Structure 1
Amino acid sequence: MSCQGRPSRKPRLIVLIRHGESESNRDKSINEYTPNHMIPLTETGWWQARHAGAQLLRLLNIDDPSIATKLSDKYCISCKSLPLVGYARLNKSLDTNVVFYTSPYKRTRQTLKGILDVFDEYNELNSGVHLPDNQCYQPEIPRRAGVWAVEHPKACREARHYICYRVKDDPRIREQDFGNFQESHSMKELMQKRSTYGHFFFRFKEGESAADVYDRVANFQETLFRHFDKTDRKPRDVVVLVTHGIYSRVFLMKWFRWTYEEFESFVNIPNGSMVVMELDESIDRYVLRTTLPKWT
């Protein structure tokens, strides 16, 4: 129950996932001839995406955790992960309705594809229902209003847990704009200037500052709050944002009301890693369960 004395319609978890390793993470020169939104994942990035899907599955309340463990072992990859502290599963009801918001950039959509492939695999192993390829999430196929949904199949045995999910493209959770095509040598100089000037207020020519991203974050969070309050919609058990490093930091800054100095103390989370916020209904607030990396 919430502190208002009625069942909470807020999701049990809000999870931020940074996209897997992209070609730009490996070689910045790709930005000189490829639009930022068209940069794909590397093969390592695809593995990180599947690994993130398995790790996310292990966070959920499901009726057969051994399947999540099996998938986690299958998609194990050596990569940096962020420790969880105090994740208590305060609400232990099964998670059956997950909503994914994704940046429309190619690397985030591909990351989501890797995550959902693992979810589809779990559903098949647990419920015996195979999702045909034409019903699986396909990031290269546009959908009406940017929504992709997988509902509970009629063929599924009612006694078995099945994770239904919806996917929504949202340009507001895209990467910080650094300008259009970027010359490597000039970007290196700009990054050095940003380190001196400050990451939050430094604006890139033809691009954005993190402060500009903050305005997008504020608008998006207002949308989330409106969805949480709608009583005519099925409650969302978990909300997942598949997004970018700087956006994740600004999202947390806005949500937890950090000062810009606090924002400056953190670095981007690693590729393919996640940040977990758990709802504590006794105080009707989200608690950050992930230990974030800081500058050393």
Structure 2
Amino acid sequence: MTLKHKTEILKFIVLGFFGSFLFYKRQNIIGSILEYAKQNHKNYSKQFKPQRIILIRHGESEGNVDDTKYAYKADNKIELTEKGKKQAYQIGKQLKQLIGNNYVLFYYSPFVRTIQTLNEIKKSFDPSNYREKEDCRLRELEWGNLQTWNLDAKQRQQIIDERNTVGKFYYRFQSGESGCDVYNRICSFLGSFKRQIKKDLTHKRKKNDVVIVAHGLTIRLFIMYGPTSNKVCKSLANQQTLKIVNA
């Protein structure tokens, strides 16, 4: 082997080593950039991720005391009783103790009783330390327009029997909804919630909480959205009025 051949081989080895070194360095640099982007995104997401999502059912309403009210008063117009307003005020004080100075984003159903509940809760909070957002997807199951069947014992029992046969989750009331319809609304809400939370928490504080003021079935279906099974959720009764559920 001539000196020239040896020199060419040595060049090839050196260039090969140098090329491998550059490839290795490039991979390291790319890896570092990706890791930085990942951590930066993680930190950015944490900045807007609420510490807690708290679900609250409205206070005692006219309909809770006398369900024949639904036969001549629209469900969305049912109000809190005086007892319900006091309950809401007390839960506001408990909520403030739990949350402390965290910034709060309130989501609520547009029904009168949930708005009244929220108004009582807010009395315990500094107006500069929260935002509120109404969302019609958080409304109660639509049982039909005016529930006149509540006034007829025979018709009422027939509907109860039909609902038990079909299943409470799938039974659709005439001119109303099924539990499945409400579940679809909740899925839609949570899908946009994940995207909107960054816009809603524009103050960029590190400690945030989300409070959702809604209805019994709506809250149970929130729980069902997670790993909880359909069977478990169907077995759940309404939470005690104004029960705090920390999601």
User: Structure 1 stretches of 5 or more lacking a match?
Assistant: 63-94, 124-149, 152-163, 278-296
Residue 270 of structure 1 aligns with which residue? 240
Question: Per the alignment, do residues 28 and 58 of structure 1 end up closer, same or farther by CA in structure 2, a change over 3 Å counting?
Answer: same
Alpha-carbon distance, 1:25 to partner: 0.6
Alpha-carbon distance, 1:189 to partner: 3.8
The separation in 2 between residues aligned to 1:245 and 1:268, in whole angstroms, is 5
**Partner amino acid for 1:118?**
S
Deviates more, 1:189-198 or 1:17-26: 189-198
Normalized per residue, which structure has more helix?
2
Which of 57, 71, 75 is residue 32 of structure 1 equivalent to?
71
The separation in 2 between residues aligned to 1:231 and 1:34, in whole angstroms, is 34
Question: Per the alignment, do residues 192 and 43 of structure 1 end up closer, same or farther by CA in structure 2, a change over 3 Å counting?
Answer: farther
Point out the structure with max Rg over C-alpha: 2
Alpha-carbon distance, 1:187 to partner: 3.9
Residue 127 of structure 2 is aligned to residue 111 of structure 1: no
Which of 121, 126, 133 is residue 168 of structure 1 equivalent to?
133
Question: Which segments of structure 1 move beyond 4 Å, counting only runs of 4 or more?
Answer: 2-5, 229-232
User: The residue matched to 1:201 in structure 2 has which SS?
Assistant: coil
**Partner amino acid for 2:241?**
N
Alpha-carbon distance, 1:260 to partner: 1.6
Q: How does 1:245-260 map to 2 (within 5 A)?
A: 245-254=216-225, 256-260=226-230
Q: How does 1:1-296 map to 2 (within 5 A)?
A: 5-6=42-43, 8=46, 9-62=48-101, 95=102, 97-119=103-125, 123=126, 150-151=127-128, 164-183=129-148, 184=150, 185=152, 186-229=155-198, 233-235=202-204, 237-254=208-225, 256-277=226-247
The separation in 1 between residues aligned to 2:120 and 2:198, in whole angstroms, is 31
**Partner amino acid for 2:135?**
D
The separation in 1 between residues aligned to 2:178 and 2:100, in whole angstroms, is 38
User: The residue matched to 2:241 in structure 1 has which SS?
Assistant: coil
The separation in 2 between residues aligned to 1:232 and 1:259, in whole angstroms, is 31
The separation in 2 between residues aligned to 1:225 and 1:188, in whole angstroms, is 41
Question: Per the alignment, do residues 216 and 231 of structure 1 end up closer, same or farther by CA in structure 2, a change over 3 Å counting?
Answer: closer
Deviates more, 1:103-112 or 1:258-267: 258-267
User: The residue matched to 1:118 in structure 2 has which SS?
Assistant: coil
**Partner amino acid for 2:124?**
V
Alpha-carbon distance, 1:263 to partner: 1.5
TM-score by length of 2: 0.75
The separation in 2 between residues aligned to 1:36 and 1:239, in whole angstroms, is 26
Question: Per the alignment, do residues 54 and 188 of structure 1 end up closer, same or farther by CA in structure 2, a change over 3 Å counting?
Answer: farther
The separation in 2 between residues aligned to 1:34 and 1:230, in whole angstroms, is 37
Question: Per the alignment, do residues 101 and 230 of structure 1 end up closer, same or farther by CA in structure 2, a change over 3 Å counting?
Answer: closer
User: The residue matched to 2:123 in structure 1 has which SS?
Assistant: helix
Mapped contact 1:10–1:235 kept (Cα < 8 A): no
User: Structure 2 stretches of 5 or more lacking a match?
Assistant: 1-38
Alpha-carbon distance, 1:265 to partner: 1.9
Mapped contact 1:46–1:110 kept (Cα < 8 A): yes
TM-score by length of 1: 0.63
Percent identity of equivalent pairs: 37
How many residue pairs get matched?
Answer: 201
User: The residue matched to 1:100 in structure 2 has which SS?
Assistant: strand
- Aligned-residue Cα RMSD (Å) equals 2.2
Alpha-carbon distance, 1:268 to partner: 1.2
